[in-house]
Structure 1
Amino acid sequence: MDTESESLLRRAIAGDEVAWRALVREYAPLVWAVARRHGLCRADAADASQNTWIAVARRLPTLRRADRLAGWIATTARHESLKVRAERGREIPAERFDVPEPVDGPESIVLRSARDRALWRAFASLPERCQALLGLLAQAPELTYPQVGRALGMKVNSVGQTRGRCLSLLRRRLAMLDIREESAG
């Protein structure tokens, strides 16, 4: 964490509201991405995000290492997302009832379904680091490489290279399953 970010953190801990808002603005996309990555609908992701910021505000003074702020916030968001998901586990979101009828015919739906299953099998076979990186980038494409690096504990200059290696590995796994890129879109 650079000295400016560390100063911002220290000021937020001391009760500086401007510094707190700056921290929230910096890490809000990360919190949202973590919540959505846990399969939460928008309303539940908003609840998990709000709960995350409440938990962070309460425990911010206990943070011992400022350089671990992004990982700490991401972990807190994960815990809060899991809590919301568990609470909502028995509810059926109304969004599921508002799904429009598919416009494709049955053949294309079956083929897409088979392709999707193969894609998820290939994704699940990737190393955990690749799953985390590609999953985060897919769920929150608006995140910058510095934000992704902080969230995953990676050096910023290695995010792009690691992304490329992970995508290449995913392509090779898909090729073994005979899934081609042109059929993926």
Structure 2
Amino acid sequence: MADDPSVVALVIEARDGSQLAWNAIVDRYAPLVWAIGRRHDLGRPDIDDVGQSVWLKLVEHLADIRDPAALPGWIATTTRNECLRVLRTSRSREQAEHRADPEPYAEGGFAEIEQELERVQRQAALRSAFRELRPRCQELLSQLFKEQRPAYRDISATLGMKIGSIGPSRERCLSELRRCPALAVLIEGEGAGATREARRR
């Protein structure tokens, strides 16, 4: 996946002392920490413990991360190490060593974590791009992509739009969304990855 410029910006701002940037980093990657914790069969209290340790270590080592774009991988690796620490503490050493055995990951564990990381990055890019849209597009797309989407007549009444203009407006807004820098980088990276995969075949 291509580097996400918003991650780089957040790391730089957090290094400079921005609390808003720090909060954004935690909000963005907390789901990744949770997913890795669940991968290790940890319960909520243990995952909370892992999360606190991960964010504390990030505070301590943020300045040591040479490449800001490497932050997601750093968080994933640190979270896994903290999960193993919790397992060693709460279970017998034999159980912990069994869980630490890399073989289960060779059968797909690392791939699952990578997929979760990519999912988190996609969601973050989409949220960032959505915030760049015109308010009118944000309102329309929010209505159209609700879990239980309202009928067009209800959307028309809520937004004061003609029913016949909803479809064309949706396409224009989606096109605008795809052109947003945060999402454009993601789309470009996924396209390049697909091309490389096709060449390997």
What is the TM-score with the length of structure 2 in the denominator? 0.49
1:146 maps to 122
Gaps of 5+ in 1: 91-123, 148-154, 162-185
Deviations 1:35-88 (A, max 9, x none): 111121111111111111111111111000112111101001011111111111
1:41 maps to 43
Secondary structure of residue in 2 paired with 1:40: coil
Alignment equivalent of 1:133, drawn from 84, 99, 111: 111
- Highest relative contact order (Cα 8 Å, sep 6+), 1 or 2? 2
Q: Which amino acid aligns with 1:9?
A: V
> When the two structures are aligned, how many residues end up with a matched partner?
118
Q: Distance in 2 between matches of 1:33 and 1:136?
A: 11
Deviations 1:94-121 (A, max 9, x none): xxxxxxxxxxxxxxxxxxxxxxxxxxxx
Does residue 70 in structure 1 map to residue 46 in structure 2?
no
Q: Which amino acid aligns with 1:133?
A: A
1:24 is displaced (CA, Å) by 0.6
User: Whose helix fraction is larger, Structure 1's or Structure 2's?
Assistant: 2
- Backbone CA RMSD of aligned residues: 3.4
Q: Distance in 2 between matches of 1:157 and 1:73?
A: 22
Sort the Cα spacing of 1:128 and 1:47 in 2 relative to 1 into closer, same or farther, 3 A: same
Q: Distance in 1 between matches of 2:121 and 2:61?
A: 27
Secondary structure of residue in 1 paired with 2:59: helix
Q: Distance in 2 between matches of 1:89 and 1:128?
A: 23
1:132 is displaced (CA, Å) by 2.8
1:23 is displaced (CA, Å) by 0.6
1:17 maps to 19
Secondary structure of residue in 2 paired with 1:84: helix
Sort the Cα spacing of 1:9 and 1:63 in 2 relative to 1 into closer, same or farther, 3 A: same
Does residue 86 in structure 1 map to residue 88 in structure 2?
yes
Gaps of 5+ in 2: 93-102, 124-187, 195-201
Q: Distance in 1 between matches of 2:189 and 2:41?
A: 26
What is the TM-score with the length of structure 1 in the denominator? 0.53
